[in-house]
Amino acid sequence: MNWSDGSSYIAIGIAIAVINYIRKFLDTPKQLPAWDVYLSKVWVLGLVLMTIGEVLPKPWLTWFWLIIFGAVAYTVRQLYHIRPARTLLLAIAPYTILVVIRDVLRFISPDFYKSTKVYFEAGSTFSFFWLITFMLIANNQKKAFAKVQQEREEEAEQRRIIEGKKNELEYLVAERTAEITRQKEELEQTLTELKATQNQLIHSEKMASLGELTAGIAHEIQNPLNFVNNFSEVSIELIDELSEEQTKADRDTELEAELLTDLKQNLQKISHHGGRAASIVKGMLQHSRSNTGQREPTDINALCDEYLRLAYHGLRAKDKTFNATFQTDFDTSLGKISVVPQELGRVLLNLFTNAFYAVQQRQKQGVSGYQPTVSASTRCIDSQVVITVADNGTGIPEAVKQKIFQPFFTTKPTGEGTGLGLSMAYDIVTKGHNGTLAVESKEGEGTKFILTIPA
């Protein structure tokens, strides 16, 4: 390449071309808008130096290249994170250095420059191709950088989308959590109301049971009270006769002794029937109390007999036309068993009441020759007390039999049962006394409940 007279002007042209390339390559109008204003005016500096170069020594062109190199270096520093910018600085550095050295030598040592001119021309050619090569490399790097930038932008966009989805999901989760919390609170409120309703229903069942018991007691207690009243009247008459005999001058001691004996017997009978009435009242009070869980030795035979009669008279109090036969077969060897009497009494009253209700319903069907019968029996088998309550009533259908111990299940018409009686009885026997309560029934023939508790 010939750099003789016009080489400096060619160098200025190359410098301006390099600056414009760098501006376009690095997009300085967008990346460095304030600095790009000065870069875009570099051709003015070139014209000024070319004019000065006509009248002044050539080293002024050296300052031009130094300024160009400094401008490129400053630009690269501002965009150091862009790898192609650093490559451009490396591309222009050899050519700048060579031009500066060449112009300085031409100024301070023309003879030496002439002797080495051929080397400078060769070096200029090499540095020019170096510049072109590294510009191509920088261009490839820019493409790679642009691809990386695009990938990063796509990743950033993906992250933005994911972040948006995340925020949306978090909002939905928070909204759903609030909804679940609200539903949980509503369910807890509903559960509280259900428990309150359940307690009310249990109380209603107990009061219904107590009503059955009270109706039976009202009839059952009448007998001992009649005996007490009758023997009291007879005893008053005997006392009057005894007082009259004692006022006579000629007293009959044998008659007085006979009157005293009769009076004693009457008082014993009054005491017996008074005790009977007291035991009935005590049973009613125990039945009306809440379960204390306290066991006590109890005569199971007497308990069964008492609640059998009370259940019968309770139904009779509601329906005066109802009559039934009740039979007992008690094992006298049982003795007293440790149970909670008021709770076991509830179970027996419920079973007997259901039994009498079943025979009453079958009686209403008008079956010819039908005699309503309810029986109760006790046995001790393998250290187990077995209480059997049987009736010849309507029986229980097979489909219904599996449900009778479920809470709130009843076959009675609306208003006649809560569906808690057998459920409570089952819990009292199985949970309260560690026993079992089973049922055997055939529709149209009768039902048998078998209650087993440890002796």
Q: Averaged over 352-357, what is the pLDDT?
A: 89
Quote the pTM value: 0.47
Q: Give me the pLDDT at residue 115, please.
A: 83
Q: Give me the pLDDT at residue 58, please.
A: 52
Instruction: Tell me: pLDDT of 449 over 60.
Output: yes
Q: Averaged over 99-108, what is the pLDDT?
A: 76
Instruction: Tell me: pLDDT of 386 over 90.
Output: yes
Q: Which fold has domain 294-455?
A: Heat Shock Protein 90 (3.30.565)
Q: Give me the pLDDT at residue 271, please.
A: 80
The Cβ-side half-sphere exposure at 245, using a 13 Å CA radius, reads: 16
* Mean pLDDT score of the chain: 78
**pLDDT band for position 70 (cuts 50, 70, 90):** confident
Question: Pick from 30, 26, 40, 31: which is nearest to 138 by CA?
Answer: 26
Please, are residues 77 and 27 in contact by the beta-carbon 8 Å criterion? Answer: no
Q: Which residue has the higher pLDDT, 177 or 291?
A: 177
Please, are residues 378 and 387 in contact by the beta-carbon 8 Å criterion? Answer: yes
CA distances from 327 to 130, 304, 331, 376 (A): 126, 11, 14, 6
pLDDT tens digit sequence for 359-368: 998 988 878 8
Please, are residues 75 and 86 in contact by the beta-carbon 8 Å criterion? Answer: no
DSSP string over 256-298: HHHHHHHHHHHHHHHHHHHHHHHHHHHHHHHHHSPP----EEE
**pLDDT band for position 371 (cuts 50, 70, 90):** very high
Q: Averaged over 200-209, what is the pLDDT?
A: 63
**pLDDT band for position 210 (cuts 50, 70, 90):** low
Q: Give me the pLDDT at residue 223, please.
A: 63
Looking at residue 430, what DSSP letter applies? I
Instruction: Tell me: pLDDT of 282 over 80.
Output: no
**pLDDT band for position 3 (cuts 50, 70, 90):** very low
**pLDDT band for position 279 (cuts 50, 70, 90):** low
**pLDDT band for position 349 (cuts 50, 70, 90):** confident
Look at strands 296-299 and 446-454 and give their pairing: unpaired
Alpha carbon distance 407, 254 (integer Å)? 69
